[in-house]
């Protein structure tokens, strides 16, 4: 999940431009993105799907552009606004790819229920991220 990993780096870059609670929030979001990347990869490995690469290159290039823009405090403010809008799109794309693979390849109905709960938790994390960025 190169995208979530790149997003985590972007939030770490942004955190360097802030102090106090804003910095803590951005570091929290970065850690959350790192955790989601690892969880998504673990799920793909579990269902034998390998690594997800859905339109990854274009998205990664965009994230790198945002990292460059965020090098200044003024640029960081602009990037935060952009990320508030982009956050949903990136996570939904990865989320849907994993859900489709997982629900068709996991044999046990108990496993499916557990994965559904995990996906709900990740989706809730993403909603909280978007809410926090819009403040």
How many residues are listed for the chain in this entry? Answer: 135
Domain ranges, residue 57:
2-133
Give every CB contact of residue 48 below 8 A, 6+ residues apart in sequence.
105
The predicted model scores a pTM of: 0.67
Task: Give the whole-angstrom CA distance, residue 15 versus residue 67.
Answer: 12
Structure tokens at 29: 């979001």
Instruction: Determine the Cα–Cα distance for residues 124 and 128; give it in Å rounded to an integer.
Output: 6
Instruction: In whole angstroms, give the CA distance from residue 135 to residue 131.
Output: 7
CATH code of 100's domain: 1.20.1260
Q: Quote the pLDDT of residue 135.
A: 65
59-96 tens-digit pLDDT: 778 888 889 999 988 888 888 888 877 666 655 556 55
Task: Please state the domain count of the chain.
Answer: 1
């Amino acid at each position: 999940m190169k995208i979530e990993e790149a997003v985590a780096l972007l939030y770490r870059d942004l955190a360097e431009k802030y102090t106090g609670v804003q910095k803590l929030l951005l570091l929290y979001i970065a850690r959350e993105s790192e955790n989601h990347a690892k969880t998504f990869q673990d799920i793909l490995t579990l269902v034998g799907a390998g690594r997800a690469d859905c339109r990854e290159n274009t998205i990664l290039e965009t994230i790198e552009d945002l990292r460059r823009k965020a090098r200044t405090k003024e640029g960081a403010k602009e990037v935060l606004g952009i990320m508030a809008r982009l956050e949903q799109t990136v996570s939904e794309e990865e989320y849907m790819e994993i859900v489709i693979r997982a629900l068709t390849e996991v044999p046990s109905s108990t496993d499916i229920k557990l994965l559904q709960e995990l996906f709900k938790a990740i989706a809730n994390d993403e909603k909280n991220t978007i809410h926090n960025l819009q403040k």
